[in-house]
Amino acid sequence: MIRVVHWSHVGHTACREGLEDLPQLRNDLQAGDVVWVDLETPNEDEEHLVFEQLIRVHPLTLEDMTKPRREPVEGAHFPKVEEFPDYLFVIVNPLPELFTRTRGVPVENGDTPTAPRFRTTAANRPQLSAILSERLLVTHHYHRLACIEVVQNYVDRHGNIGQRGPDYLFHLVLDTMVDEYAAVVEGMAGQMEALETRILLRNAPDIMPKLLRTKRQLNFLRKTLVLERELLARLTRGDFRLVQEQEVVYYRNVYDHLVRYTELVESGRDMVSDLMHTQLAASSNRLNEIMKLLTMISTIVLPMTLIAGIYGMNFEHTAVFKWEWGFAYSLLLMLTTGIAALGLFWWKRWI
């Protein structure tokens, strides 16, 4: 599906163009015009229409852009930015929709939020590709992306915003995409706090799988955030001609947010590692307490078993074998050894 928004220099109005107008649109663009073309889950014909008749791109650019369709097992290309003579090519990896839907849920009644059953693989990572020229922004993606929809709604409400140029429009997309990390990171932090409480307060044998799943998801986020941080760092330095100087400050604001979320993810990874060590230590302590209790019971019962064994030997001339109070005497002796063992444990402060 292709969506086209055209801001004309005449009256600074925005209008949506039809697909049949795309080939002619390239020739009709004048100074002051801005066009945003969004390709959502495009087929090969739509890609040919845009990248052959509207704007010609390098074959390597098209190869990187279509990688999720051509190589679905390997999945999305990692974030990158590359400058060509007449356009700027950018790839970013927004959060998967399932990831954003299942995070940021408040914790109630002390329960532990359940981590989503989401496989953190490259095949599940969305790819957003962008082509920026002086008057044209092309966004290309094979997944439904919330950041694109939010910016499109924002553009519909503020019709003249596109006149600031393709670089400003793309900044809006990046800003919305980065803001999605806020709810996700906060949700994961809340989950880890709840897991920590469960580890410290009660036995929770099911926590280790949750910690491992959380660690995989944090690693998934970190891989993307680190590369996107480097990408935005280059955009904020003013290295690219198509990013105007007055727009660099907006990219720098997005970069600051991304750095903060990256640091939160890094601290989250450290916290998960600490929780895993704490869980293992707590499990070891619980096992030690159980073994301590069993050892005490064995120590108390062992003298009783010895006494019962001695008096249970079937020899006719055994002492007190025919004694009237022999049975009571043996029970009293067993009780005395048990009390003595308990007294010893209490004196040693073992109980």
Q: Are residues 151 and 256 in the same domain?
A: yes
What is the crossing angle of helices 207-236 and 166-201, to 10°?
150
Q: What is the pLDDT of residue 106?
A: 35
Q: Are residues 156 and 241 in the same domain?
A: yes
**Where does the pLDDT of residue 89 fall: very low under 50, low under 70, confident under 90, or very high at 90 and above?**
very high
User: Are 29 and 21 spatial neighbours (Cβ–Cβ below 8 Å)?
Assistant: no
Q: Are residues 44 and 116 in the same domain?
A: yes
pTM of the model: 0.72
Q: Are residues 351 and 252 in the same domain?
A: no
User: Which strand (E) or helix (H) includes residue 211?
Assistant: helix 207-236
Q: What is the pLDDT of residues 114-127, one digit of tens each?
A: 444 455 555 677 88
For 186, the domain range is 2-284
Q: Indicate whether 112 pLDDT > 50.
A: no
Going across the sheet that includes 2-7, the strands are 14-16, 2-7, 34-40, 136-141, 128-132, 88-92, 80-83
Contact residues for 55 (Cβ-Cβ < 8 A; gap 6+): 26, 87, 131, 133, 136, 138
Q: Are residues 123 and 201 in the same domain?
A: yes
Q: Which residues pair with 90 in a beta bridge?
A: 81, 130
- Looking at 284, 302, 325, the residue that finishes a domain is 284
Q: What is the pLDDT of residues 301-346, one digit of tens each?
A: 888 888 777 777 766 666 666 667 777 777 888 888 888 888 887 8
- Looking at 284, 303, 321, the residue that finishes a domain is 284
Query: In 66-206, which residue ranges form alpha helices assigned H by DSSP?
Result: 67-70, 97-101, 146-157, 166-201
Q: Are residues 242 and 319 in the same domain?
A: no
CATH of the domain at 56: 3.30.460.20
Length of the chain: 351
210 inside domain: yes
Q: Are residues 17 and 97 in the same domain?
A: yes
Q: Indicate whether 10 pLDDT > 70.
A: no
- The mean pLDDT of the chain is 78
294 inside domain: no
